[in-house]
Amino acid sequence: MLEDELTVNIRHRDGVAVIDLIGDVTTFAEEKINNAYRQVTDKGARYILFNFRQNDYINSAGIAILIGIVTEVNQNGQRLAVSGLSPHFQKIFRMVGLAQYAEIYQTEDEAISAFKRLNTIN
Amino acid sequence: MQLIIPSVLGYEVVVRDAVASFAQRYGLPPDRIEDVKTVLCEACTNAIEHGNGSDPHRRVRVCCTVDEQSLVIAVCDEGELPPTLPGKPVEWFSMPYPSRRGLGLKLIVALSDEVSIAADPTFGTCIRLVFYRDPRSGIHTS
Amino acid sequence: MSEADGATEQIIEMRLPSRLGYERIAMDTAASLARRMGFTPERIDALRTAIGEAVTNAIEHGNQADAAMKVVVVLTIRTDELIISVADQGRKVLDPAQTFLQPRITDAFQRADKGGWGIWLIRELMDEVEFSFAPGSGNQVRMVVHLERPPVIKP
């Protein structure tokens, strides 16, 4: 009755697979996040954005899930970015070292623009 | 879950936020959570000021339990004089100048689905507040 | 929040069942108290995360997620600091060596288990941290956040 609920949405925008993570990211989020990543990867996504919404809770189990995603992103030659994180969780991402592997943007629009610039360079 | 605070005004806000967090995870709708917050503030303020006479060495104990139908919160002080509860539906204008405590109790009764007061053998006096999970269910006492 | 006569500290105690999800309530309670005490938003976020990790550990590891077992959180309010103590009933004892690990993301990439960040986060975010075990009760972590008051400009 007191379990966390995470809702995951997949959208595509300007060649980027946007995965909305709405709610808390804890151990209960594992299956949903992994499934979403697998789904977009199976369809050939090269640029992926995790867009956090209504989030004020990411715990160390959630961090471990995201590190798992980053492991696969690195192996598959994809690019991952995150947006919508509060300043506190941006700080946590930097402390843990995730920021080196997943670029942090304030908003979805900023992330999409950055991906577009990458795309034109490549 | 259980929360114990000293009888110092100001701490009722901490209880309010703890129980609101609990109610949110239980799945009460946002406007009902606002009611829970108001009721808890009033009940805790009463317990601190009246039940415990603002004695910082006395404690207020708050217990929350849930089942499928409802969220039940008991606010207990270490005093011995339980107040008289107004009946439902609450009459707001029965006194020319209602006391602050009287107003608080009316708010509690008006906003909760069920309210009762009893002596607690281990603590003192407890006010028991019930909030139905589904606001349309349950029987309102008149 | 005024101090009582002669009392230099006040205590709030919470008892939570050992079910994941209840750590949120401990987090929100501690954050509410910290706001009242005048901590900065950054320190409040930090202690929210730290207490979340501590209570989650107590639920999952110390009490093995047995809902009947309790996690006891004691918040001690002093004029210049907040002490947060989280205790479980010690069904599984936390190895003290585990509390000094420095996880690295590059190591995590190589391992199947990407976890182990919780205790490290607590140490990084809190001003003082102490892990202990009391036979007859359980694992306990004691965290301290110092309340920094803005400097007073004297005329």
Q: What is the pLDDT of residues A1-59, one digit of tens each?
A: 444 579 999 999 999 999 999 999 999 999 999 999 999 999 999 999 999 999 989 99
- pLDDT at C5 (0 to 100): 45
3 state SS of C26: helix
Chain A neighbors of C20, CB-CB under 8 A: 2-4, 26-28
- Residue B2 and residue C14: Cβ atoms within 8 Å? yes
How far apart (Å, rounded) are the C-alpha atoms in residues A66 and C115?
10
Average pLDDT score over chain B: 88
- pLDDT at B95 (0 to 100): 59
- pLDDT at B18 (0 to 100): 97
What are the domain boundaries of chain B? 2-132
| B89 cis-preceded (ω within 30 degrees of 0) | yes
The answer to whether residue A1 is domain-embedded is no
Average pLDDT over residues B108-114: 94
Q: To the nearest whole angstrom, how far is the Cα of C135 from the nearest Cα of chain A?
A: 28
CA atoms within 13 A on the CB side of B38: 17
- pLDDT at B121 (0 to 100): 84
pLDDT tens track for A85-120: 999 999 999 999 999 999 999 999 999 999 999 877
Strand-pair partners of C72:
C15, C87
| Superfamily of domain C9-146, CATH level 4 | Histidine kinase-like ATPase, C-terminal domain (3.30.565.10)
How far apart (Å, rounded) are the C-alpha atoms in residues C90 and C88?
6
The DSSP string of C49-91 is HHHHHHHHHIIIIISTT-TTSEEEEEEEEESSEEEEEEE---S
Q: To the nearest whole angstrom, how far is the Cα of B72 from the nearest Cα of chain C?
A: 15
- Residue A26 and residue C20: Cβ atoms within 8 Å? yes
Lowest mean pLDDT among A42-56, B55-69, B72-86, C67-81: B72-86
- pLDDT at B84 (0 to 100): 79
What are the domain boundaries of chain C? 9-146
- pLDDT at C8 (0 to 100): 81
| Tokens standing for residue B130 | 């019930």
Return the HEC string of chain A.
Answer: CCCCCEEEEEEEECCEEEEEEEECECHHHHHHHHHHHHHHHHCCCCEEEEEEECCCCECHHHHHHHHHHHHHHHHHCCEEEEECCCHHHHHHHHHHCHHHCEEEECCHHHHHHHHHHHHHHC
| Tokens standing for residue C76 | 């001690």
Site from C2, C20, C28, C79 to mutate, B interface, most B CB atoms within 10 angstroms: C28
Chain A neighbors of C116, CB-CB under 8 A: 60, 64
Average pLDDT over residues B15-23: 96
pLDDT tens track for A62-72: 999 999 999 99
3 state SS of C109: helix
How far apart (Å, rounded) are the C-alpha atoms in residues C93 and B5?
30
pLDDT tens track for B25-35: 999 999 999 99
CATH number of the CATH domain containing A27:
3.30.750.24
How far apart (Å, rounded) are the C-alpha atoms in residues A20 and A83?
10
- Chain A nearest-CA residue for B21: A2
Q: What percentage of residues in chain A have a pLDDT greater than 90? A: 91
| Tokens standing for residue A94 | 């930097």
Total number of domains constituting chain A: 1
Task: Report the first-to-last Cα separation within chain C, whole angstroms.
Answer: 27
Judged by a CB distance cut-off of 8 A, whether residue B72 touches chain A is no
Pick the CATH number of B2-132 from 3.30.565.10, 3.40.50.1370, 3.50.50.60, 3.40.50.1820: 3.30.565.10
CB C136 within 8 Å of CB C154: no
The answer to whether residue A27 is domain-embedded is yes
- Residue C12 and residue B1: Cβ atoms within 8 Å? no
How far apart (Å, rounded) are the C-alpha atoms in residues A26 and A33?
10
ipTM score assigned to the predicted complex: 0.87
- Residue B25 and residue C25: Cβ atoms within 8 Å? yes
- Pick out chain C residues at pLDDT < 50: 1, 3-6
- pLDDT at B98 (0 to 100): 59
Task: Report the first-to-last Cα separation within chain B, whole angstroms.
Answer: 30
| Tokens standing for residue B108 | 């509690």
The confidence band for A122, taking pLDDT boundaries of 50, 70 and 90, is: low
B88 or B3: whose pLDDT is higher?
A: B3
- pLDDT at C3 (0 to 100): 46
CA atoms within 13 A on the CB side of B29: 6
Of the candidates B1, B6, B13, the beta carbon closest to that of C14 is on: B1
* C-proximal residues of B, 3-22, CB under 8 Å: 3-6, 8, 10-11, 13-14, 16-18, 20-22
- Residue A71 and residue C108: Cβ atoms within 8 Å? yes
Q: Which stretches within B1-142 are classed as H helix?
A: 12-26, 30-46, 100-111
Chain A neighbors of C115, CB-CB under 8 A: 60-61, 64
Of the candidates A3, A71, A97, the beta carbon closest to that of C20 is on: A3
- Residue C105 and residue A27: Cβ atoms within 8 Å? no
- Residue A57 and residue C46: Cβ atoms within 8 Å? no
Q: Burial-class residue C35 by CB neighbours within 10 Å (0-12, 13-18, 19+).
A: middle
- pLDDT at B142 (0 to 100): 35
- Residue C117 and residue A60: Cβ atoms within 8 Å? yes
How far apart (Å, rounded) are the C-alpha atoms in residues A119 and C66?
51
